[in-house]
Amino acid sequence: MKRMHFSYFCALSLILMLAGVEVSLARAPATAKIAFSSSRDGAWDIYLMNPDGTEPVGLTHLDGNNYHPTWSPTGRHILFTSDRDGFLDLYLMDARGRNVRRVFRQWDVRQHPAWAPDGRRIVYVRGSKKDKKVPQFYIASINGTGEKRIADGSFPVWAPDGTEIAFVSEKGEIRVINVETREEETIAPMEGAMAMDLAWSPDGAQIAFTRLDIFDFLLDKAREARDAPEVKKGDKQAGVVKGDGKAADIQSALYSINRDGSGLKRLVVLDGTKTSDPAWSPRGSELIYQQTIGEELHLFKIDLGGGVPVQLTAAGSNFDAAWFDPAALPVVPQPRLLITVWGKLKL
């Protein structure tokens, strides 16, 4: 009997040891890669490609719909949103698409994750089934413990120094909250519009975002309704259209703003074309964004120093780009960026 217990203990210890080795041996890509979500094979899956759009490789293989990939600071793991188990929650996999696991034991709707620079914590939007009226964002460890509500808002993204989180308030403005003191500050009021898809520059000096002209659109509709001639019984009423004969639409464009609220500027100038969801290159010199072409979304890259946008994707619809480059990592190893899995054995 004792021998059986001892054999069981040895086998279990070996399993735990191998699991820890498997996680610790997860490797970052040897060259720069862009993670993104694509519908090219039917469902939405996470893919990797080179920064020039070549060699796309699927990672999630039609396991539900998968969105919002975000790299760990070391590039060894990818955090993403998936509905594979019934509704949206957060999942973790290594950079090759292996060892997929759900982050949290307790089910809830979680999405739009972002990794903290220390590699140990994540921030994300959590929408309980009981109350989805007001979006809220939370912080937790990458192992799914210590979940804490931070504030009301959406599209949270961690500052490169780890001290602040930028987010979009209920009013659509860009706000910044201090992680320790919880003090909030509005840096972009966004009058007549709302912000989405925040992305902090690698040097922490700027925040890129999507400016959605939804308020302008609604105001225009209200003015058209107010100024429209009175319709009498029996008269025919024409539909409201724009001057070019097409239905009115909500426009979006890419902007950036300095951390102190100054220097608002448009990043990509393409009249009549919707652009959104910016992602900085690890060195901050280029930007990936999504652009509406017909009924599809495609990823483009632009040199912020001046240049012509380059289309990176062509098949299906593609969005949610995240850029990793091992050449941009610190030369000195940082143990705090390593993910560790501990196993406890109760005798």
pLDDT digits (tens, 9 = 90+) for 158-180: 999 999 999 999 999 999 999 99
Q: Tell me, what DSSP letter sits at residue 183?
A: -
pLDDT, residue 249, reads 58
- 11/238 Cα distance (integer angstroms): 76
Q: CA Rg, the chain, in Å? A: 23
- 166/260 Cα distance (integer angstroms): 12
Is 289 or 61 the better-scoring residue by pLDDT?
289
pLDDT band at 241 (very low <50, low <70, confident <90, very high): very low
Q: What is the pLDDT of residues 14-39, one digit of tens each?
A: 433 433 434 456 799 999 999 999 99
Q: What is the pLDDT of residues 287-325, one digit of tens each?
A: 999 998 888 999 999 999 888 899 999 999 999 999 999
pLDDT, residue 247, reads 34
Closest listed residue to residue 48, CA positions, set 73, 24, 29: 29
Contact, 151 vs 136, CB < 8 A? yes
- Helix boundaries (H) for the chain: 2-24, 214-227
Token reading at 143:
């192992």
Contact, 39 vs 56, CB < 8 A? no
CA–CA–CA angle 37, 35, 74 (5° rounding) = 145
- 238/248 Cα distance (integer angstroms): 14
Residue 224, pLDDT above cutoff 60:
no
Token reading at 277:
């969801």
Contact, 103 vs 113, CB < 8 A? no
- 159/200 Cα distance (integer angstroms): 6
Tell me the three state secondary structure of residue 33: strand
Contact, 49 vs 323, CB < 8 A? no
pLDDT, residue 261, reads 95
The mean of the pLDDT values for the chain is 81
Q: Determine phi and psi for 129, rounding to 5 degrees.
A: -65, -25
Closest listed residue to residue 289, CA positions, set 259, 265, 255: 255
Residue 222, pLDDT above cutoff 50:
yes
Contact, 114 vs 124, CB < 8 A? yes
The region of weakest confidence among 13-27, 88-102, 270-284 is 13-27
pLDDT, residue 332, reads 39
The number of CA neighbours under 13 Å toward the Cβ of 173 is: 13
Closest listed residue to residue 327, CA positions, set 83, 53, 51, 25: 51
pLDDT, residue 251, reads 80
The region of weakest confidence among 65-74, 133-142, 207-216, 310-319 is 207-216
**Beta partners for residue 127, in sequence order:** 109
Is 231 or 57 the better-scoring residue by pLDDT?
57
**Beta partners for residue 143, in sequence order:** none
pLDDT, residue 2, reads 42
What is the mean predicted confidence (pLDDT) over 205-216?
A: 86
Residue 131, pLDDT above cutoff 80:
no
pLDDT band at 230 (very low <50, low <70, confident <90, very high): very low
pLDDT band at 245 (very low <50, low <70, confident <90, very high): very low
160 burial class (0-12, 13-18, 19+ CB within 10 angstroms)? Answer: middle
pLDDT, residue 129, reads 55
pLDDT, residue 86, reads 87
- Residue-wise burial string across 48-57, b where 16 or more C-beta atoms lie within 10 A, e elsewhere: bbebebeebe
Residue 333, pLDDT above cutoff 80:
no
pLDDT, residue 145, reads 95
- Distance, CA of 312 to chain centre: 18
Closest listed residue to residue 45, CA positions, set 35, 53, 31: 35
pLDDT, residue 133, reads 65
The amino acid at 225: A
Residues 6+ positions from 17 with CB-CB distance below 8 Å: none
pLDDT, residue 295, reads 85
pLDDT band at 223 (very low <50, low <70, confident <90, very high): low
pLDDT band at 87 (very low <50, low <70, confident <90, very high): confident
